[in-house]
Structure 1
Amino acid sequence: MIYKISTDTPLEQVKKELAEHSKENGFGVLGSYEFKKILQSKGFPIDKDITVYEICNPSAAQEILEGIPEMSVFLPCRLSIYEENSKTVIATINMKTLVDSMDVDVAFREHIYSIYAYLENIMKSWK
């Protein structure tokens, strides 16, 4: 259910370049959550630097929401960035697996696949 890739690109560089690579693929960054800082401020520290970015392609979001309103729980799209085994990991929900588990027509399924391909392109920007 989770799709992730690893890269040798430093974590901070990936964070810095995410907005640019998202824009190149038709997405914009809506916001981010730096869990290490958030949880530390609440008295629940964690060691890992984990940041989740919310990104959106408004046209794609409109089409998804008009086609399957239930998918709203998965929007906006999220990319999680953290380090693991000396590599930077970029992870997201595997929309292909998700839509394959739903009762949707073939054309809509293929459309979701094409949107997901843009997310994969963003993630592979640092490969």
Structure 2
Amino acid sequence: MNFDYALVTKKSLEQAVDDVKEALKELKFGTLWELDVPSKLKEKGVDFKGKARILEVCNPHKAKAVLEKDMNVIYFLPCKVVVYEDQGEVRLGMVRPTVFMEMLESEGLQDFAREVEETIKTALHKAQ
């Protein structure tokens, strides 16, 4: 099983980021934070020519519910969604929550992770 799920889009990176955020919002996931990787690296004195954004996303009700089941899930929150250019293509992707939850042995976490994963996959497809 891959640790990630990714799609290729014909959109510009900027448009893809906007569309991912909008699709997530429609599915009740908010963007808590957005990191422009090249800008942050440049701020630290490192020149990176690539284009990449990391979105930290969350549904607060789902986060509360899963944290009440197992506080160790806090290590995996919020979910990461990425938009980046690689070999001339813009890619949309995420780290799959089901992969993370396999590390914990709490009852019901895989069901929760599958639900969140499917929701984020839906958002990625809508934004594609």
The alignment-based identity, stated in percent, is 21
> With structure 2 as the length reference, what TM-score do the two structures score?
0.89
Shift of 1:124: 1.3
2:101·2:109 contact (CA, 8 Å) conserved in 1?
A: no
Between 79-88 and 95-104, the greater mean CA deviation after superposition = 95-104
1:30·1:54 contact (CA, 8 Å) conserved in 2?
A: yes
1: CA distance, partners of 2:109 / 2:66: 9
2: CA distance, partners of 1:86 / 1:126: 18
Between 27-36 and 85-94, the greater mean CA deviation after superposition = 85-94
- Aligned position for 1:12: 14
- Aligned position for 2:57: 55
Partner AA of 1:114 in structure 2: E
- Aligned position for 1:120: 121
Partner AA of 1:86 in structure 2: G
Shift of 1:32: 0.5
Partner AA of 1:103 in structure 2: E
Report the secondary structure of 1:44's partner residue: coil
For structure 1, which runs of at least 5 residues remain unmatched after alignment? none
> With structure 1 as the length reference, what TM-score do the two structures score?
0.89
**1:16 to 1:108, Cα distance in 2 relative to 1, 3 A:** closer
- Listed one character per residue, the Cα deviations across residues 20-63 of structure 1 (whole Å, up to 9, x for unaligned) are 11111110111111110011111111111111111110011101
Alignment match of 1:80 (pick from 71, 79, 82): 82
- Aligned position for 1:28: 30
Shift of 1:80: 1.2
- Listed one character per residue, the Cα deviations across residues 56-101 of structure 1 (whole Å, up to 9, x for unaligned) are 1001110111112111121111111101122211122111122233
2: CA distance, partners of 1:123 / 1:55: 13
Shift >3 Å, 4+ stretches: none
Shift of 1:2: 2.1
Partner AA of 2:127 in structure 1: W
